[in-house]
Each structure stands twice: as structure tokens, then as C-alpha cells.
Amino acid sequence: MRTNFDFAPYRRSTVGFDRLFDLLENGSRADTVEGYPPFDIVKDGEDTYRITLAVAGFRPDEIEIVAQQNLLMVAGKRSQAEPEGDYLHRGIATRDFERRFQLADFIEAGAASFEHGLLTIALKRVVPEAMKPRRIEIGGRPANDRIEGPKDKTRNAA
């Protein structure tokens, strides 16, 4: 059962969280309606994750993985060749699929492997140096002094 929650008061008092509120309001409509192919998401370490999809009946060359900013898309498209035989029951789903995963900021897709009908995609959180917390020393300099960087030294030498 889905309940509607009004995020308007929070949108008025926050800056830069639009994407988060959009995700909460919209959810993952299409992905939750159909559960094919089934998948697992595992947290392997503090900054490493693994998505495993059960894609029985597909070959690696029939699966496409596309990583964009904050989105990982996995699609499977079967070749048109129908296997020979007169099936009495066909229980292994081999229909085309497209599964999308919303990724948090700084999550990057790594290597993908295919073994025993399972597609595994490694994910890792890679925070840029500029975004990592850094310690700022308190010194005796006035606050309006400019700190020289490496580019300033080469500019002054020229």
C-alpha cells in the first residue's frame, strides 16, 4: 500500500535535495511492478557493493550494461533464434528485460562477470578528494590572506 506524503514543506527549507525528493515521490514505479529478472544487492564492505541478477537463458553477448550518472541500466535482448524442440512446459523466462538501478552520488560501476546464469556487477563508492573531509589548521595569519597554490608559483615565475 502506497501512501502519499507531501514533501512541499521540506522542499521550501532545503537546498539541493530536489533529486532526493523526486526519488521519494516517484519511487521506482516500473521496476517494482514486474520482478523480472530477480536480483540481489549485497554490501561487501564499507564502500563496495554487488548487484547480482538471475538471467538464466541469456548469453553474455545478449546482455547490455550501461552506467550513467546515478543510473545503472541492465538490458537483455534474446536473439531471434528459437531453440528446437516441442516444449510441453516453458518455465524459464527468457523474455527481453530492462532493469534500472538508481545509484547514490559517487557510486561507480566496476567489473561485470557472468557465471552459471548469474550476472554480477561490482559497485564502489569513490568520493573525490575535494569532497572528503579535511582538517584545517588554525594559524596566526589574518583571514584575508590568500593561500598560494602550485599554479600561482608557476605564474609568478613567468
User: Among 67, 56, 73, which residue's Cα sits nearest to residue 119?
Assistant: 56
Q: Which residue has the cell 521519494?
A: 24
CATH of 35-81+93-139, one of 1.10.3720.10, 3.20.20.140, 2.60.40.790, 3.40.50.720: 2.60.40.790
Taking the complete model, does pTM exceed 0.85, yes or no? no
Instruction: Determine the 3-state secondary structure of 104 from DSSP.
Output: coil
DSSP readout, 7-65? -HHHHHH-SS-HHHHHHHHHTTHHHHH---S-EEEEE-SSSEEEEEEE-TT--GGGEEE
Task: Determine if residue 60 is left, alpha or beta; phi over 0 gives left, psi from -120 to 50 gives alpha, anything else beta.
Answer: alpha
pLDDT digits (tens, 9 = 90+) for 92-148: 878 899 999 989 888 999 999 999 999 999 999 998 888 888 888 888 665 555 556
Spatial separation of the C-alpha atoms in residues 54 and 13, rounded to whole Å = 42
pLDDT digits (tens, 9 = 90+) for 50-82: 999 999 889 999 999 999 988 999 999 988 776
**Cis check: omega of the bond before 37, within 30 degrees of 0:** yes
